[in-house]
Structure 1
Amino acid sequence: MNFTDNLAIQLKAAGFSATTDQLSQFTTYYEMLIETNKYLNLTAITDPHEVAVKHFVDSLTALDDKDLIFKEGAKLLDLGTGAGFPGIPLAIMRPDLEIVLSDSL
Protein backbone atom coordinates (compact mmCIF):
# COMPACT_ATOMS: atom_id res chain seq x y z
CA MET A 1 0.00 0.00 0.00
CA ASN A 2 1.38 3.42 -0.88
CA PHE A 3 1.85 6.26 1.60
CA THR A 4 -1.15 8.29 0.44
CA ASP A 5 -3.62 5.40 0.69
CA ASN A 6 -2.28 4.41 4.10
CA LEU A 7 -2.51 7.99 5.36
CA ALA A 8 -6.11 8.28 4.15
CA ILE A 9 -6.99 5.11 6.09
CA GLN A 10 -5.20 6.31 9.24
CA LEU A 11 -6.85 9.74 9.08
CA LYS A 12 -10.29 8.19 8.64
CA ALA A 13 -9.68 5.80 11.54
CA ALA A 14 -8.85 8.82 13.72
CA GLY A 15 -12.01 10.62 12.64
CA PHE A 16 -10.49 13.04 10.12
CA SER A 17 -11.56 13.54 6.53
CA ALA A 18 -8.95 14.82 4.06
CA THR A 19 -9.50 16.06 0.53
CA THR A 20 -7.46 14.78 -2.40
CA ASP A 21 -5.53 18.06 -2.34
CA GLN A 22 -4.76 17.70 1.37
CA LEU A 23 -3.58 14.11 0.87
CA SER A 24 -1.34 15.35 -1.95
CA GLN A 25 0.12 18.01 0.35
CA PHE A 26 0.79 15.44 3.06
CA THR A 27 2.47 13.14 0.51
CA THR A 28 4.70 15.94 -0.76
CA TYR A 29 5.60 16.84 2.83
CA TYR A 30 6.41 13.18 3.56
CA GLU A 31 8.65 12.92 0.48
CA MET A 32 10.47 16.15 1.37
CA LEU A 33 10.88 15.00 4.99
CA ILE A 34 12.44 11.69 3.96
CA GLU A 35 14.74 13.32 1.39
CA THR A 36 15.92 16.06 3.76
CA ASN A 37 16.36 13.55 6.58
CA LYS A 38 19.15 11.89 4.54
CA TYR A 39 21.49 14.80 5.29
CA LEU A 40 19.79 16.61 8.18
CA ASN A 41 18.56 14.54 11.11
CA LEU A 42 14.96 15.72 11.43
CA THR A 43 13.36 12.52 12.71
CA ALA A 44 14.17 8.94 13.61
CA ILE A 45 10.71 7.94 12.40
CA THR A 46 10.89 7.31 8.64
CA ASP A 47 8.72 4.23 8.07
CA PRO A 48 5.74 5.36 5.95
CA HIS A 49 3.11 3.87 8.28
CA GLU A 50 4.81 5.29 11.38
CA VAL A 51 5.14 8.76 9.82
CA ALA A 52 1.44 8.69 8.93
CA VAL A 53 0.41 7.76 12.46
CA LYS A 54 3.05 9.21 14.79
CA HIS A 55 3.74 12.45 12.95
CA PHE A 56 0.72 13.36 10.85
CA VAL A 57 -2.30 11.91 12.65
CA ASP A 58 -0.88 12.61 16.12
CA SER A 59 -0.25 16.24 15.08
CA LEU A 60 -3.94 16.62 14.36
CA THR A 61 -5.17 15.50 17.78
CA ALA A 62 -5.35 19.15 18.89
CA LEU A 63 -8.16 19.60 16.36
CA ASP A 64 -10.15 16.87 18.08
CA ASP A 65 -9.79 18.32 21.60
CA LYS A 66 -13.13 19.84 22.61
CA ASP A 67 -11.33 22.23 25.01
CA LEU A 68 -9.18 23.58 22.16
CA ILE A 69 -11.72 24.70 19.60
CA PHE A 70 -9.80 26.79 17.08
CA LYS A 71 -12.09 29.41 15.61
CA GLU A 72 -11.67 30.34 11.97
CA GLY A 73 -8.62 32.59 11.58
CA ALA A 74 -7.18 31.71 15.00
CA LYS A 75 -3.48 32.39 15.44
CA LEU A 76 -1.22 29.56 16.61
CA LEU A 77 2.50 29.40 17.40
CA ASP A 78 4.37 26.10 16.97
CA LEU A 79 7.41 26.87 19.11
CA GLY A 80 10.24 24.36 18.70
CA THR A 81 8.70 22.97 15.55
CA GLY A 82 11.73 20.92 14.49
CA ALA A 83 10.63 19.03 11.38
CA GLY A 84 7.35 20.95 11.31
CA PHE A 85 5.22 18.96 13.71
CA PRO A 86 2.47 19.71 14.57
CA GLY A 87 2.36 23.02 12.67
CA ILE A 88 2.48 21.84 9.06
CA PRO A 89 -0.09 19.04 9.42
CA LEU A 90 -2.39 21.49 11.22
CA ALA A 91 -1.92 24.03 8.41
CA ILE A 92 -2.71 21.40 5.79
CA MET A 93 -5.94 20.38 7.49
CA ARG A 94 -6.95 23.88 8.62
CA PRO A 95 -5.70 26.42 6.05
CA ASP A 96 -7.92 29.04 7.70
CA LEU A 97 -5.62 29.14 10.74
CA GLU A 98 -2.67 31.52 10.91
CA ILE A 99 0.16 29.25 12.07
CA VAL A 100 3.71 30.45 12.74
CA LEU A 101 6.45 27.83 13.04
CA SER A 102 9.56 28.74 15.02
CA ASP A 103 12.73 26.81 15.80
CA SER A 104 16.28 27.62 16.81
CA LEU A 105 17.80 26.30 13.56
Structure 2
Amino acid sequence: MANPWEGEVAIRLDGERQVMRLTLGALAELEAAMEADTLLAMVERFEAGAFSTRDVLALIVAGLRGGGWRGDASDLMTAEIAGGPVEAARLAGQLLTRAFAFPDG
Protein backbone atom coordinates (compact mmCIF):
# COMPACT_ATOMS: atom_id res chain seq x y z
CA MET A 1 0.00 0.00 0.00
CA ALA A 2 1.24 3.49 -0.83
CA ASN A 3 1.84 5.73 2.18
CA PRO A 4 0.06 9.07 1.58
CA TRP A 5 1.91 10.61 4.54
CA GLU A 6 5.13 10.12 2.57
CA GLY A 7 3.56 11.52 -0.60
CA GLU A 8 3.28 8.09 -2.21
CA VAL A 9 0.75 7.14 -4.89
CA ALA A 10 0.31 3.60 -6.26
CA ILE A 11 0.01 2.90 -9.97
CA ARG A 12 -0.37 -0.35 -11.93
CA LEU A 13 1.97 -0.77 -14.91
CA ASP A 14 1.52 -3.87 -17.02
CA GLY A 15 -0.39 -5.42 -14.13
CA GLU A 16 2.33 -4.77 -11.56
CA ARG A 17 1.88 -2.35 -8.69
CA GLN A 18 4.48 0.39 -8.49
CA VAL A 19 4.85 3.19 -5.95
CA MET A 20 5.44 6.77 -7.06
CA ARG A 21 6.90 9.53 -4.90
CA LEU A 22 8.27 12.95 -5.77
CA THR A 23 11.64 13.29 -4.10
CA LEU A 24 13.60 16.52 -4.43
CA GLY A 25 15.69 14.96 -7.19
CA ALA A 26 12.56 13.73 -8.99
CA LEU A 27 11.05 17.23 -8.75
CA ALA A 28 14.19 18.77 -10.27
CA GLU A 29 14.05 16.25 -13.09
CA LEU A 30 10.35 17.02 -13.54
CA GLU A 31 10.90 20.78 -13.75
CA ALA A 32 13.36 20.23 -16.57
CA ALA A 33 11.13 17.75 -18.41
CA MET A 34 8.09 20.05 -18.17
CA GLU A 35 10.18 23.13 -18.99
CA ALA A 36 8.71 24.84 -15.93
CA ASP A 37 10.60 27.67 -14.27
CA THR A 38 9.21 26.93 -10.81
CA LEU A 39 7.36 24.30 -8.83
CA LEU A 40 4.43 26.70 -8.63
CA ALA A 41 4.26 26.87 -12.43
CA MET A 42 3.95 23.06 -12.57
CA VAL A 43 1.21 23.00 -9.96
CA GLU A 44 -0.68 25.85 -11.65
CA ARG A 45 -0.55 24.02 -14.98
CA PHE A 46 -2.30 21.00 -13.44
CA GLU A 47 -4.75 23.08 -11.41
CA ALA A 48 -5.79 24.98 -14.53
CA GLY A 49 -6.18 21.76 -16.52
CA ALA A 50 -3.61 23.13 -18.98
CA PHE A 51 -1.38 20.06 -18.91
CA SER A 52 -0.44 17.87 -21.86
CA THR A 53 -0.03 14.13 -22.13
CA ARG A 54 3.74 14.79 -22.11
CA ASP A 55 3.29 16.54 -18.75
CA VAL A 56 1.39 13.53 -17.35
CA LEU A 57 4.06 11.17 -18.66
CA ALA A 58 6.88 13.31 -17.22
CA LEU A 59 5.15 13.44 -13.84
CA ILE A 60 4.60 9.68 -13.75
CA VAL A 61 8.21 8.98 -14.78
CA ALA A 62 9.53 11.37 -12.10
CA GLY A 63 7.26 9.79 -9.48
CA LEU A 64 8.26 6.27 -10.43
CA ARG A 65 11.94 7.19 -10.34
CA GLY A 66 11.42 8.84 -6.94
CA GLY A 67 9.88 5.54 -5.84
CA GLY A 68 12.97 3.60 -6.92
CA TRP A 69 12.02 2.57 -10.48
CA ARG A 70 14.97 2.54 -12.88
CA GLY A 71 13.17 3.02 -16.19
CA ASP A 72 12.63 6.09 -18.33
CA ALA A 73 9.87 7.64 -20.45
CA SER A 74 10.50 5.30 -23.38
CA ASP A 75 9.66 2.33 -21.12
CA LEU A 76 6.20 3.77 -20.52
CA MET A 77 5.42 4.30 -24.21
CA THR A 78 4.21 0.71 -24.55
CA ALA A 79 3.26 0.04 -20.92
CA GLU A 80 -0.35 -0.53 -19.99
CA ILE A 81 -1.42 1.82 -17.22
CA ALA A 82 -4.44 0.44 -15.39
CA GLY A 83 -7.36 2.79 -15.99
CA GLY A 84 -5.87 4.28 -19.13
CA PRO A 85 -5.03 7.91 -19.83
CA VAL A 86 -7.73 9.35 -17.59
CA GLU A 87 -6.49 7.38 -14.58
CA ALA A 88 -2.89 8.28 -15.44
CA ALA A 89 -3.81 11.99 -15.38
CA ARG A 90 -5.71 11.56 -12.10
CA LEU A 91 -2.78 9.78 -10.46
CA ALA A 92 -0.33 12.39 -11.77
CA GLY A 93 -2.41 15.14 -10.20
CA GLN A 94 -2.70 13.19 -6.95
CA LEU A 95 1.06 12.70 -6.90
CA LEU A 96 1.69 16.40 -7.35
CA THR A 97 -0.84 17.25 -4.63
CA ARG A 98 0.64 14.78 -2.16
CA ALA A 99 4.11 16.19 -2.69
CA PHE A 100 2.98 19.51 -1.20
CA ALA A 101 0.09 18.77 1.17
CA PHE A 102 -0.81 16.43 4.00
CA PRO A 103 -3.42 13.81 3.12
CA ASP A 104 -7.00 14.22 4.33
CA GLY A 105 -7.87 12.52 7.59
- Same fold flag (TM > 0.5): no
Greater relative CO, 1 or 2 (CA 8 Å, sep 6+): 2
In proportion to residue count, which structure has more helix?
A: 2
Greater gyration radius: 1
TM range (shorter): under 0.3
